Structure 1
Amino acid sequence: MKIAFSPCPNDTFVFHAWVHGLIPGAPQLDVLYADIDVTNTLAAGTSSGLDVLKISYAALPWVLSEYALLPCGGALGRGCGPLVLTQSGGAASSSQDPSALAGKRVAVPSERSTAYLLFRLWAAQNVPGGVGEIVVMPFHEIMPAVRDGLIDAGLVIHEARFTYPAYGLTLMTDLGSWWEADTGLPIPLGAIVARRSLDLDAIAGYIRTSVEQAWAQPALSKQYVMSHSQELAPEVAQAHIELYVNEFTANLGDSGYAAVTALLSRAAQEGLVPEIDWAKLR
């Protein structure tokens, strides 16, 4: 079975048991490690040959005809949202007033990411006249670009939540905190999808078992996790796992599905994503 997910600690932690053949009856996995912007594109294509993928929830409207959302394995949560960062002392950081972003250049990791949707929804409410140019770049290049003054602000994800102070950057807003205050719902970040032609219940069962084994024996996955996150200190990788692997990873539940529905319906109203057939969501 062909699967694609990121080399980030939360994904390698979640899939360790399945990748290493520790789940009885589960098919062997052929793994493609790729950034979520790559997997979003692959899922929306017609010839990737991938059976299971980790994508952004923001990409779901483009893939639901071929792929089904699985109720486990993904990343939702609280206190784990994207951040808007500015250069300390830069033109956009004279204050933490979002209006400072009006007409400015903002780097984002993808235009089909939950982070981007949250940013656009937040900016529509908080940045009079809107931001200026949106620049798409790999997420690991964003903080250096903000630090060096190449862009005015950056939208960051993943472990940047823990490491941005080392770049001397200023937090303008935590979009997760904004979303939670505005909706009362968790933040839907990364989804696991599988081809509708497959045994979806079985695949969800393998993933849930893999998550449970990772929690039960975390030491088993440590070498695998760190081999794919070589730029991270062990304590940062562990903090990453603890933040993004939670009860929603084992089961989306009603509040998880409500969060996805709220995000995609709001985004569709703003013209950021296509309308979807809600009957295909679960």
Structure 2
Amino acid sequence: MKIAFSPCPNDTFVFHAWTAGLIPGAPRLDVTYADIDITNGLSEGLTGPEVMKISYAALPWTHPDYALLPCGGALGRGCGPLVLTAGGRTDGTPDPSLLTGKTVAVPSERSTAYLLFRLWAAQNVPGGVGRILVMPFHQIMPAVQRGEIDAGLVIHEARFTYPQYGLSMLQDLGSWWEQDTGLPIPLGAIVARRSLDLEAIAGWIRASVDYAWANPDASREYVMSHSQELSPEVAKSHIDLYVNGFTRDLGADGFAAVEALLGRAAAEGLVPEERVASLKLRSGLNAV
């Protein structure tokens, strides 16, 4: 079975047991390691792998022959993207007006991080931001540090490493989302071809998650081999933050969070309203 997920610690931790052949009855995996911006594009057609990790924000553009699985992804609390600048108010108080008419770099325009940023900016940045520049996420913090862009939207391990660049956090978008909605943040989703046995795939993913939690040291070499730029401490912090109960089962709060994100984005014109409606998340047609 062909699968694509990122080389980030949370994904390699979740899928290690399955990729290593440790899940009874699960088929052998042919793994492609790809950033989520690549898999978001692949999900629009049927040329990509049978199972893949994409952004929840990309669901409205995902081919209808892919179904959302209720496990294996990244959704939680206290794990949202950050808006970073090279400066701030001297009293340390966040000042969203610093972004009025400014250039902001984002890792993708079809990501939860981008939708959260646009929803937050619509409420908090007077006059709105200026130019949105799509940039590989590992280039964003150095560009902000050098003054090439005014602010950057960062994800993943940048939550832990941005002080090394001398940057300031203007806004934790996860905190804003949780305070505004009371819901967790839907980041990365797992989708699979509807022609497959979706219940079986969900079961194998959950078994892989359970194995990872029961044997946390078993995946260490595999995780670090794909995260060589990270220290073991940062990799562990990454896993602890992004692999949680929602990874094993989205549950009612998880699906409500996805509906809230895409519903608000549609209301702001950031995603097509008709595509969000066609997902029929509440009917369960996109889940097993």
Whether 1:82 aligns to 2:81 is yes
Of 127, 130, 155, 2:128 maps to: 130
Counterpart CA distance in 1 for 2:63 and 2:254 is 17
Moved over 4 A (4+): none
> Per-residue deviation at 1:89?
6.0
Calculate the TM-score normalised by the size of structure 2: 0.94
Match of 2:3 in 1: 3
Match of 2:24 in 1: 24
> Per-residue deviation at 1:88?
2.8
Whether 1:156 aligns to 2:154 is yes
Match of 1:224 in 2: 222
Contact 1:180 1:186 in 2 (8 A): yes
What are the ranges of 5 or more consecutive residues in structure 1 without an aligned counterpart?
none
What are the ranges of 5 or more consecutive residues in structure 2 without an aligned counterpart?
none
Match of 1:65 in 2: 64
- Cα distance change of structure 1 residues 236 and 210 upon mapping to structure 2, 3 Å threshold: same
Match of 2:173 in 1: 175
Match of 1:41 in 2: 41
> Per-residue deviation at 1:41?
0.6
Match of 2:206 in 1: 208
Query: Deviation digits for residues 241-276 of structure 1, max 9, x if unmatched?
Result: 000000000100000000000000100111111232
Q: Which range is displaced more, 38-47 or 131-140? A: 38-47
Match of 1:245 in 2: 243
Which residue identity does 1:30 align to in structure 2? D
Of 181, 194, 197, 1:196 maps to: 194
RMSD between superposed Cα atoms in Å: 1.4
Calculate the TM-score normalised by the size of structure 1: 0.96
Counterpart CA distance in 1 for 2:65 and 2:166 is 43
Counterpart CA distance in 1 for 2:248 and 2:88 is 42
Identity %: 75
Which residue identity does 1:87 align to in structure 2? A
SS of match in other structure, 1:44 = coil
Which residue identity does 1:61 align to in structure 2? P
Contact 1:186 1:256 in 2 (8 A): yes
Counterpart CA distance in 2 for 1:260 and 1:5 is 20
> Per-residue deviation at 1:94?
9.1
Which residue identity does 1:273 align to in structure 2? V
> Per-residue deviation at 1:281?
3.7
> Per-residue deviation at 1:64?
5.2
Contact 1:94 1:100 in 2 (8 A): no
Counterpart CA distance in 1 for 2:46 and 2:24 is 31
Query: Deviation digits for residues 219-262 of structure 1, max 9, x if unmatched?
Result: 11000000000000000000000000000001000000000000
Which residue identity does 2:64 align to in structure 1? S
Which residue identity does 1:2 align to in structure 2? K
Which residue identity does 1:54 align to in structure 2? K
* 1:104-143 equivalences in 2 (<5 Å): 104-143=102-141
Counterpart CA distance in 2 for 1:88 and 1:121 is 23
Counterpart CA distance in 1 for 2:5 and 2:225 is 15
SS of match in other structure, 2:218 = helix
> What count of residue pairs does the alignment treat as equivalent?
279
Counterpart CA distance in 2 for 1:224 and 1:187 is 27
Query: Deviation digits for residues 55-82 of structure 1, max 9, x if unmatched?
Result: 0000001115121110100000000000
- Cα distance change of structure 1 residues 89 and 267 upon mapping to structure 2, 3 Å threshold: closer
